[in-house]
Amino acid sequence: MKAAVHTSPGVIEIQEVAEPVPGPGEIKVRIEYTGICGSDVEIVNNHFGKQKLDSWPKGPKIEGHEACGTVVEIGPNLRHGFKAGDRVALGLGESCGGCYSCRNGLEHFCDVWKPCPGTWAQYGAFPEGAAYALPEGLPLQMGALAEPVSIAIRLVDVAGVKTGQSLLIAGAGTIGLLSLAVARQAGATTRVVSEPRAHKRQLALDHGATAAVDPLAEPLYSAAERLTNGRGFNSVLEASGNLGSAKAVLNAVANHGTVVWAGVYPDDAEVAVNPYQMYEKDITLKGSWIAPYSFYRGLEFLQAYDLSYIVTDVHPLEKTQEAFDHHLEGNSIKTLLQCWN
Ligand SMILES: [Zn+2]
Ligand SMILES: [Zn+2]
């Protein structure tokens, strides 16, 4: 089979590799569409913090984690009833359900977490617990959005978005725009997007933003004053990964508001926080790691709403390097790789 193999920083080669064989509790999936995520960009460029861990697999490696496809073979001892022909979307990995973390509502910190292998390939063998049946009628391209949609759903939860309240989203990439769609349905009535690129601001305005600001033209604190009657935003999602933005959003939040730093930031960077400001304004500052217990909700959301505007680029798997380089230019929203043609 063909696979896009990350061989050195910034370099992806198409290689002919052996097809995976599903082991116990695994399914072999013919991957149809797989996405390029903001975290994949960091990983391929060797900038992702977790790559420094001993547990991170080294050497040439197939990357990617957003995918959907069709089950073609099952391994022994399956527990969840998948069979050949089932259409599935894939999460990041399988949590066990029985360890200390899983039994305390923290499946994303499962003590024996089984990560999925990379999805930028024609086939993968995945733990069955990482797979979710695709709702009937949901196009495969949309199925590849299930993982990022589940991330957005979790972020809107973590940000404490409530009916009738105001929300600022910094960054109109995939996660920013998906969070905007979810927050709109969650009832946020003032939905402002901060984004330096004009065509992305327009996309946000076309799909649920009540206003869009250029943070290079107007400081966020002044946009916050202007757009919220001087109160600031009840919830703020920083989804750009930009450190300047991570700092600036702290001055855009309302009294008793919540700020979520949701980007992939450099692991050695620091952002100054004024603790007195946190105290005086009763501010909550949060992070958010992946999307525990959100995948079914993601699939429901994909069924209920047309999110096809998120997919701006589709490239054949053979052109992964070109797709990656083009995505790096920053004008695309979601870039998908089509694994068969
Ligand atoms: Zn992702
Ligand atoms: Zn566990």
Residue 283's nearest CA partner among 272, 275, 293, 271 is: 275
The whole-chain average pLDDT of the chain stands at 96
Cα of 267 vs centre of ligand 1, distance in Å, is 18
Cβ(14)–Cβ(317) below 8 Å: yes
- The residue type of 220 is L
What's phi and psi for 333, nearest 5 deg?
Answer: -95, -95
Cα of 177 vs centre of ligand 2, distance in Å, is 31
Cα of 116 vs centre of ligand 2, distance in Å, is 15
Cα of 176 vs centre of ligand 2, distance in Å, is 29
Ligand nearest the Cα atom of residue 178: 1
Ligand nearest the Cα atom of residue 104: 2
Pairing of strands 334-338, 190-194: unpaired
Ligand nearest the Cα atom of residue 96: 2
Burial zone of 144 (CB within 10 Å; 0-12 exposed, 13-18 middle, 19+ buried): buried
Ligand nearest the Cα atom of residue 148: 1
* Cα 192 to Cα 211: distance, rounded to the nearest angstrom: 5
Per the listing, tokens 């946000």 go with 204
HEC string of the chain?
CEEEEEEECCEEEEEECCCCCCCCCEEEEEEEEEEECHHHHHHHCCCCHHHHCCCCCCCCEECCCEEEEEEEEECCCCCCCCCCCCEEEECCEECCCCCCCHHHCCHHHCCCCEECCCCCECEEEEEHHHEEECCCCCCHHHHCCHHHHHHHHHHHHHCCCCCCCEEEEECCCHHHHHHHHHHHHHCCCEEEEECCCHHHHHHHHHCCCCEEECCCCCCHHHHHHHHCCCCCEEEEEECCCCHHHHHHHHHCEEEEEEEEECCCCCCCCCCCCCHHHHHHHCCEEEECCCCCCCHHHHHHHHHHCCCHHHEEEEEEHHHHHHHHHHHHCCCCCEEEEECCC
- The residue type of 294 is S
Cα of 100 vs centre of ligand 1, distance in Å, is 26
Q: What is the torsional sign of CA 307, 26, 30, 93?
A: positive
Torsion of CA 69, 73, 76, 79, to 10 degrees: 40
Tokens found for residue 24: 């116990």
Write the Ramachandran bin of 7: left for phi over 0, alpha for psi from -120 to 50, otherwise beta: alpha
Cα of 334 vs centre of ligand 1, distance in Å, is 10
Cα of 285 vs centre of ligand 1, distance in Å, is 22
Ligand nearest the Cα atom of residue 100: 2
Ligand nearest the Cα atom of residue 109: 2
* Cα 97 to Cα 74: distance, rounded to the nearest angstrom: 21
Q: What is the torsional sign of CA 107, 299, 257, 217?
A: positive
Give the pLDDT confidence of 307-321 residue by residue, as tens digits.
999 999 999 999 999
Cα of 140 vs centre of ligand 2, distance in Å, is 29
Tokens found for residue 76: 């022994």
Cα of 211 vs centre of ligand 1, distance in Å, is 26
**Tens of each residue's pLDDT in the chain, 341 residues:** 999 999 999 999 999 999 999 999 999 999 999 999 988 888 888 888 888 898 888 889 999 999 999 999 999 999 999 999 999 999 999 999 999 999 999 999 999 999 999 999 999 999 999 999 999 999 999 999 999 999 999 999 999 999 999 999 999 999 999 999 999 999 999 999 999 999 999 999 999 999 999 999 999 999 999 999 999 999 999 999 999 999 999 999 999 999 999 999 999 999 999 999 999 999 999 999 999 999 999 999 999 999 999 999 999 999 999 999 999 999 999 999 999 98
Cβ(114)–Cβ(93) below 8 Å: yes
Cα of 331 vs centre of ligand 2, distance in Å, is 38
Cα of 39 vs centre of ligand 1, distance in Å, is 6
Give the pLDDT confidence of 199-232 residue by residue, as tens digits.
999 999 999 999 999 999 999 999 999 999 999 9
Tokens found for residue 7: 């061989």
pLDDT of res. 54: 87
Who's near 325: CB < 8 A, 6+ residues apart?
none
Cα of 89 vs centre of ligand 1, distance in Å, is 13
Cα of 64 vs centre of ligand 1, distance in Å, is 8
Cα of 164 vs centre of ligand 1, distance in Å, is 29
